Structure 1
């Protein structure tokens, strides 16, 4: 990871207010990085950052917007993680509401673990991430070697 991170921000509908409060509170930290968001979350994040940055004379960060989660945005984000184009995921998901794309959400979270990506699923964890000394520094995560899994013998019976 370079000093300037690619940070993905995602929030389910019932958590959009929470993510917007968090983004507004942490706008100065986020403004120093590239942001990637799914659907409506991207629109809301972009609006909040433009407002905060303008009020403080700061250039707002780039916000790349993917499709909405249920329309494939979670899968797009997973592909970006696999390609090494995402450094951190902030994903305020709703633990109380079933989602039409629950399998995509589970797959996205699985990929973050597989690729050892720092991931926050609530405000406390997100606060710890942005306040870490590593947030604005270069960092090389240790990736598990899966070559044995890839090269395994498969019994085709």
Structure 2
């Protein structure tokens, strides 16, 4: 599966810890991330990650384009709910695209862990049907 990893500045340490904890599961999938988040995860885990621009510079939109083309299977976006984001419209557009295209989208550690554990048990196979691969 193709998984995007994104985190606001105050959440970057949490997404790195998540990636370290779930490295064996993540290693079995194709990973994508926005700029700094991807770099920090690579440094901590050595996982291969395709990096896009930073979120405020268009990285969220690049991932959104993959969603629109049905080329993304899951997004983990650890958002900072207590800090205003200058690119909030881009974030909302990404959320909307995930809803339209039925892409699992986690915005906090609890939901992210549930999705990653589902991958471990093969419980997201319905995505292959949505993509037309079965």
TM-score after normalising by structure 1: 0.77
The answer on 1:97 being equivalent to 2:97 is: no
Runs of 4+, deviation exceeding 4 Å: none
The structure with the larger Rg is 1
Separation in structure 1 between the aligned mates of residue 32 and residue 41 of structure 2, nearest angstrom = 10
Q: CA deviation at 1:100?
A: 1.0
Change (3 A) 1:110 1:142: farther
Q: Secondary structure of 2:122's match?
A: helix
Indicate the residue corresponding to 1:139 in structure 2: 126
SS at match of 1:94: coil
Instruction: Provide the rounded CA distance (Å) in 2 between the counterparts of 1:41 and 1:82.
Output: 22
Q: Paired residue for 1:54?
A: none
For 1:79-118, what aligned pairs fall within 5 Å after superposition? 79-118=65-104
Aligned length, in residue pairs: 128
Of 32, 38, 63, 1:42 maps to: 38
Following the alignment from structure 1 to structure 2, what is the Cα–Cα distance between the partners of residues 82 and 31?
24
Are the aligned partners of 2:73 and 2:127 in contact in 1 as well (CA < 8 Å)?
no
Higher helix proportion: 2
Q: Equivalences for 1:51-62 in 2 at 5 Å?
A: 60=47, 62=48
Gaps of at least 5 residues in structure 1 are 51-59, 144-157
Gap regions ≥5 residues in structure 2: none
Shift in CA distance, 79/111, structure 1 to aligned 2, threshold 3 Å: same
Q: Deviations over 1:12-61 (max 9, x none)?
A: 001001111111111111011110000100101111221xxxxxxxxx4x
CA contact (8 A) 1:31 1:49 kept: no
Q: 1:128 is matched with which residue?
A: 114
Structure 1 residue 142: Cα displacement: 7.5
